[in-house]
């Protein structure tokens, strides 16, 4: 798989096959992802990988708990302009149509959203924390590392879903994996497994802005 294919074939997968993931594959990916760049070479990502019983137990705790208060961090800051909310609305409409969920079916939408907390049936979860002392530049480093991981997973035939929804249970997760709440923020979970290629929710059209509306080119001949 070349790099363009790896990037293009990564998509958020929300239905997984019941097929275990070998530790060696995950280790190869994470070993390679250590070469991700970071400002000042801080490498501020810290992660725990769970499968089997520890993962089942975490999912059970999350599905039985309400969201934590106060929040770990603002997943969606207030005042996001409508143009961005429209982007969310557009892709969500495609996703809900693929899942056969009607616009006004609040119960089905809630049930679908609760599947976040069982990581959509993925057999492996990557749980990423960041030292509290780090700021926005380092958060972006962790984001780059996460994307590097997701693209490398494609090289192993694996799929993923980043899960910031897990931050609703950040403290519970840190307690479960033995990370200090005092020193660390929980940033993001990630579902890892093999995609169900036939599931409609893994195959809907993903919408993006046209390149020229977000990137300007200057000084080219």
Q: Note the residues at the interface with ligand FMN (CB under 6 A).
A: 11-12, 91, 116, 161-165, 188, 206
- Residue 163 beta carbon to ligand FMN: minimum distance, rounded to whole angstroms: 4
Minimal distance, residue 154 CB to ligand FMN, in Å: 12
Q: Measured from the CB atom, is 22 or 137 closer to ligand FMN?
A: 137
Minimum distance from CB of 104 to ligand FMN (Å)?
20
Residue closer to ligand FMN by CB (options 130, 163) is 163
Q: Which is nearer to ligand FMN, 11 or 184 (CB)?
A: 11
Residue 125 or 179: which CB sits closer to ligand FMN? 125
Least distance to ligand FMN, CB of residue 105, Å: 17
The Cα–Cα gap between 49 and 123 comes to 11
């Amino acid at each position: 798989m070349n790099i363009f294919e790896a990037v293009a074939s990564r998509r958020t997968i929300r239905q997984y096959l019941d097929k275990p993931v070998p530790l060696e594959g995950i280790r190869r990916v994470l070993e390679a992802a250590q070469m991700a760049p970071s400002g000042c070479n801080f490498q501020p990502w810290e992660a725990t990988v769970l499968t089997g019983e520890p993962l089942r137990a975490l999912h059970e705790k999350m599905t039985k708990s309400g969201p934590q208060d106060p929040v770990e961090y603002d997943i969606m800051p207030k005042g996001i302009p409508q143009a961005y909310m429209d982007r969310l609305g557009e892709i969500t409409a495609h996703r809900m149509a693929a899942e056969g969920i009607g616009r006004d079916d609040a119960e089905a939408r809630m049930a679908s959203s609760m599947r976040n907390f069982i990581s959509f049936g993925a057999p492996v979860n990557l749980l990423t924390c960041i030292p509290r002392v780090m700021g926005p530049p380092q958060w972006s480093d962790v984001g780059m590392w996460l994307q590097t991981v997701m693209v490398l997973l494609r090289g192993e035939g694996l799929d993923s879903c980043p899960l910031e929804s897990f931050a609703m249970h950040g403290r519970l997760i840190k307690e479960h994996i033995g990370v200090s709440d005092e020193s660390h923020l929980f940033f993001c979970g990630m579902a890892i497994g093999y995609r169900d290629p036939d599931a409609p929710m893994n195959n809907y059209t993903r919408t993006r802005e046209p390149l020229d509306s977000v990137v300007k080119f200057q000084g080219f001949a």
